[in-house]
Amino acid sequence: MSKPMQPKHQNRFNRTSLYKPTGEVVRHSEYPCRLNFYLRPPPVEISVEDFERFALDRLQVLKTIENATLRNKKADEFRREMDRVSSEHMRMRTGHTKEAMEDRKKDHVSHFILRLAYCRSEDLRAWFLRQECALFRYRFELESRKDKEVFLKSLDINWKVVSQEDKMNMKAELESCAIWTAKAAGIQNVKDFVENETYFEVEFEKVPDLIGRRSVLVRRGKAFVPMTEQISLVMDEFKARLSKALEATAKALPRMDEDERLKPVLLNVEKQYTGKDYGDVTNVTGKVKASEVDGLSQHFPLCMSNLHQSLRKDKHLKHGGRMQYGLFLKGIGLSVEEALVFWRKAFGNHTDDKFQKEYSYNIRHNYGLEGRRVNYAPYSCMKIIQSNQPSTGDHHGCPFRHFSAQSLEATLYKNKVGAPQVNEIVRLAKDRHYQLACTRYFEVTHPEMQSGQVGTIEHPNQYFDMSQGKLPDSDAMTTD
C-alpha cells in the first residue's frame, strides 16, 4: 500500500485520499467495469461521515456472505440474499452512467477502509480475505463474457495460452476431462468443445478445486485449464494479491494509528465484527446472586462453562481465567458485592486473609473501584480468540480456537452432542470459523431455535442472553 491516509482538515481525509471533491465527475476510464482487484488505493477524498458509512455498508454485505455461505444456502437462496443486501447497501449498476461510476467508487473506497480495519491480526485478515473472495466470485460470475475479457485484459495477467498444435497432441486426454465442463456450458459435442476452447497452462497448485473435480488435465506438474473454468484462475490471482496487500497494510498500520481522527473510526468499524462490548452493565448489576451462578451455568457458552467447571473442580483459576470469567459474570449481572462472595466461596482452600490480600483488590479493580477506576467490559469472542493465548494449566480462551480437535470432540460428546453435529462443529473449528462453530453448538444444544434464526455469536454474554430467550439482533450495525 502507498502512503497512509492523513487528515486534510477537521472532517476530510487526503493524501492516499478517498473521495473526489463534491461535484467532480468520475471518469469512465477509472472504472471501465464493475469488477476490481483493488490494486491501488482510490485517489480521492471522503468526509469522516462517509468514511464510516461506506465501511459499514460493505460490512453488511460481507456479514451476509459469511452467514449465507457457512449455512450452506442454496445457489438461488444465496443470490436472493445478495440481491437484497446489495440493493440496500452496495448497489453496482451496469453501464457507464454517473450513478454507476459512483457505485464503483464507493465499492473501491469501502474495500480499502475495511482493509485498514481488518488487517490488525491474522484472524481478522483471514476473515476479511474469505468474505472478499466470496464477494468477488459472486460478482465475477454475474458479469458478461465481454466485460470479463475487458477486466482481465486490464490486469495483464501472465497466463500461458496452449497452442493449437499442443492442444491437438493432448486432444483425447482433454476430451476425457471436458465431459462435465462441456455439459455445464450447454455443449453436447465434447470434441467441438475442445477444438474451439482456449486452454491455459498453469502450475497445478493454482487450481486444486478443478483437480479435485477432475475437470482439468494434469501433466508433469502443469494443469491445462479451459477458459470456461477460468474463474478458478481468477480467484487464485485475486486471493494471492489481496493476501499480500493485507500483510503490507498491517506493516503500515502503526503510522496510520498516529492519526487521532482516523483511528477511532477504524476501531469502531472493526468492533462491528468483534461484537457488542457489553460495557454498560449498570442496568443489570445486582440481578444475579452468587448462589444462582451454578444454576445459570446451563446457559453459559462452552468457554465459560469450561471455566466454571474447572473452578468448581480445582477451587482455583489462574489470572487469565479469573479475568475472562469474572468479567463475564459481571456482564450477566453479578454485582461487585456478590462477586466477592462468589469468588471467596469458590476459592475454598484459601484463608480470608489470603483472599483479601491476593484476590479482593483485582475483583474490585474489574468493577472500576480501584486503580485507574476503569469500568472493564466483558471480553468479546474476538478478544478471547486473539489475545492472551492459554498455556499449560490455564483454562481460559476459546475451546473452538484453543482446544485440540480431540479435546473439542470429547467435550462435545460429553455435552451430549450427536456424532454428525460433532463432526460438523469440529470441521468449522478446524477451518478457523470459530464463532460459527460456537453458533452451531448453540443451535444443536437449543433445538427449539430454528437453524438460521440465530445470528453469528460474537460475544459470550450474547450467547447467555440468547440461551435465556433474549435474542439481540446480532447483525445490527452501530455508529458510535
Tell me, what's the pLDDT at 18?
Answer: 38
Tell me, what's the pLDDT at 122?
Answer: 81
Fold (topology level) of 5-154+236-274? Transcription Elongation Factor S-II; Chain A (1.20.930)
Q: Which residues of the chain have pLDDT under 70?
A: 1-29, 70, 184-186, 255-260, 271-286, 450-453, 470-480
What pLDDT, in 10s, does the model give residues 91-136? 999 988 999 999 999 999 999 999 998 888 887 898 899 999 999 9
Tell me, what's the pLDDT at 160?
Answer: 86
Binding positions are 303, 381, 398, 438
Helical H segments across 257-318, by residue range: 262-274, 293-296, 302-314
Tell me, what's the pLDDT at 217?
Answer: 92
Please tell me the pTM assigned to this model: 0.63
Order of all β-strands in the sheet with 222-226: 160-161, 199-203, 222-226, 217-219
**DSSP element (H, E) containing 46:** strand 46-47
Tell me, what's the pLDDT at 8?
Answer: 42
* Separation CA 112–CA 116 (nearest Å): 6
Tell me, what's the pLDDT at 190?
Answer: 84
- φ, ψ for residue 297, nearest 5 deg: -60, -20
Residue range(s) in the chain whose domain bears CATH number 1.20.930.80: 5-154+236-274
**DSSP element (H, E) containing 218:** strand 217-219
Q: Rounded to a whole number, what is the distance in angstroms from the first to the last CA of the chain? A: 28
* Separation CA 411–CA 399 (nearest Å): 9
In one-letter notation, the amino acid at residue 59 is: L
Binding positions for [4Fe-4S] cluster are 303, 381, 398, 438
Q: Are 462 and 472 in contact (CB under 8 A)?
A: yes
